[in-house]
Amino acid sequence: MKINKLNSIILLGLVAIISILVAQLLWTKEAFTLEQKKLSQKANIALLEVARKLYEGKDHESSCQNPVQKISNDYYIVNIQNAFEPDILEFYLRSEFKKMNITTDFEYAVYNCQSDEMVYGKYISFSEKEKEKKTVSFPKHKNLVYYFAIRFPNETTYLFSSMRFWFILSIALILILLIYVYSIFTLLQQKKYSELQRDFINNMTHEFKTPLSSILIASKYLSEQNPIKDDKKLHTYTNIIINQSHKLNNHIEKILNVAKSDSAPLALKKEMILIVPIIEEVIENIQLKYPDATIKIETLSHDYKIEIDVFHFTNLVYNLLDNAVKYCNEKPEITIAISSENNILKLAFIDNGIGILPKNLSFIFDKFYRAQNEKSNEVNGFGLGLYYVKEICNLHNWKIKVENNLANGITITLSIPHKK
């Protein structure tokens, strides 16, 4: 099965994010191990200093080279080999842990050789909430007489709190991954709905064209019959059927063109050609449809040449003029102003229509959008004309903008790269 470009991009993006997340989790694990070693080293140094101070003032030195033994990650024993006071031990533990910036709770116990058990145990908390917490029992160790034990019951929590940045970063990456997966799922759903919509439009329009062609053929045949020609009413009704059928056929062609451009970009057949004669030809066709409309061209030269697809450019101009005439309450007066400035050819379509509310200006080129105004119920359409105009401009790499005129109507301006 052939994997399309979109699926490849989605798969690569998913693999990249998962790889980053796995790498982040591995770094977090390594950072936790390093923090654990760091705490162990600081605790070892502090306990060595405590052991050294317990020998101060004594007449002999300790025979044990390394009195500190690490039994587990959170449990240490210190062999003193001499009697000491528990109160003094606690004072030294507090001061040395403070020097080493060890701020997690700890508990200690001293071995009593007379009773053969761990006694004088105490829980030292840096939090007011834990002050009343009781110590747990400490195991005894063989071959040791004067020693004490230290346990850090909240070591894991302490290490996690010192790694907040790493965990926040990991959580952020997990959220990004979830958002990415949700976005991809939504994108695929939208793509599926878009394909279904396009298939429906294609099937619907093709089904419409067959009976519509039959209606046009039959209507033209009727209009040529003598009884129809002789009866004014019948002839009028026949012409209405023909005109409305042509109008419906034009709408269907627009829908088909849009559906086709959605599935694959329109292929342009560009050629260098004079544009003023093309615009004049379109004006003639528009005035056949709207004889009352006044359309004029204002230009300093009739020799403007640009590289265009003649078919699509003709449709573009026709759509703009058709819209300008339909959305007008007065006698339509349209001016097409052509000018050239800084290698940019500008085509401004200025009308005297009803205009557009400023809040709706940015939406008029959207597919199926029809601004609600006094003419929207009178004018039939699907909101595809200006969308088609925008698509043709994009394909030609032109810029298009719309603005309201000071008096009435709007101005739609095309900016076309132009070399003299």
**pLDDT score of 5:** 72
For the chain, give the percent of residues with pLDDT over 70.
82
pLDDT grade for 255, boundaries at 50, 70 and 90 = low
Where are the domains positioned within the chain? 5-162, 165-263, 270-417
Confirm if 105 and 123 have CB atoms less than 8 A apart: yes
For residue range 96-149, what is the model confidence (pLDDT) as tens digits? Answer: 888 888 888 888 888 777 666 777 667 777 665 555 555 556 777 777 777 888
Chain segment 286-315, per-residue pLDDT in tens: 887 888 888 999 988 888 888 888 888 888
Name, of 122-136, 239-253, 368-382, the range with top average pLDDT.
239-253
Give the distance from CA 238 to its chain's centroid: 54
In contact, 390 and 278? CB cutoff 8 Å: no
Mean pLDDT over 254-281 rounds to 75
Helices (H), 61-163: 86-99, 155-162
Mean pLDDT taken over the chain: 79
Region 396-411: what's the mean pLDDT? 88
Do the beta carbons of residue 112 and residue 174 sit within 8 Å?
A: no
Whole-number pLDDT of residue 415: 92
Instruction: Give dist(CA 405, CA 194) in Å, integer.
Output: 37
Say how far apart CA 204 and CA 358 lie, in whole Å: 35
52-71 per-position pLDDT tens digit: 887 764 555 555 567 888 88
- The total number of residues written for the chain in this structure: 420
pTM above 0.75, yes or no: no
For residue 383, pLDDT beyond 70: no
Residues 6+ apart with CB under 8 A from 34: none
Given this structure, which CATH class describes domain 270-417? Answer: alpha beta
pLDDT at residue 335 in the model? 92
- Mean of pLDDT values over 3-23: 77
Crossing angle (nearest 10°) for helices 310-326 and 276-289: 40
